[in-house]
């Protein structure tokens, strides 16, 4: 049975080598964005859905419809920090986030 992740819980951010990041980027290549951030920005609802999506999938794509590049970068970094995930990659309006499950991770990552 998987532990429920409370949206207000203090998450732990994973630390990965460049080889491990490259592996995750390869796995994420074919994924479609599961979270879309609109003009309202980083709302509590977006945070809660991102936590749920990470608990379900571990590796997700997030798409942001924010005009400025710096603002998008800040938004993706803040979302990763709030959800205890790792910002694996950002290309244009899309970011890849990763947070392994505490129990029974689905994604196996090669050693560093």
Sequence-ordered list of residues with C-beta below 8 angstroms from that of 95, at least 6 positions apart, any chain: 61, 62, 64, 76, 79, 80, 87, 88, 89
pLDDT of residue 11: 54
Identify the structural domains of the chain with CATH numbers, from first to last.
18-98 (3.30.110.60)
Secondary structure (DSSP) of 36-61: EE-TT-S-HHHHHHHHHHHHHHSEEE
Token look-up 């509590």 returns 44
Q: What is the pLDDT along the chain (112 residues), one digit of tens a residue?
A: 334 444 455 556 678 899 999 999 999 999 999 999 998 989 999 999 999 999 999 999 999 998 789 999 999 999 999 999 999 999 999 999 999 988 888 887 887 6
């Amino acid at each position: 049975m998987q532990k429920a992740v409370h949206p207000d819980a203090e998450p732990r951010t994973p630390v990965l080598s460049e080889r491990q990041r490259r592996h995750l980027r390869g796995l994420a290549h074919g994924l479609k964005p599961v979270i879309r951030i609109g003009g309202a920005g980083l709302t509590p609802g977006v945070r809660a859905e991102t936590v749920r999506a990470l608990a379900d999938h571990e590796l997700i794509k997030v798409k942001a419809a924010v005009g400025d590049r710096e603002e998008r970068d800040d938004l993706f970094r803040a979302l990763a920090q709030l959800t205890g995930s790792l910002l694996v990659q950002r290309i244009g309006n899309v970011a890849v986030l990763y947070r392994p499950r505490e129990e029974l991770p689905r994604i196996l990552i090669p050693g560093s």
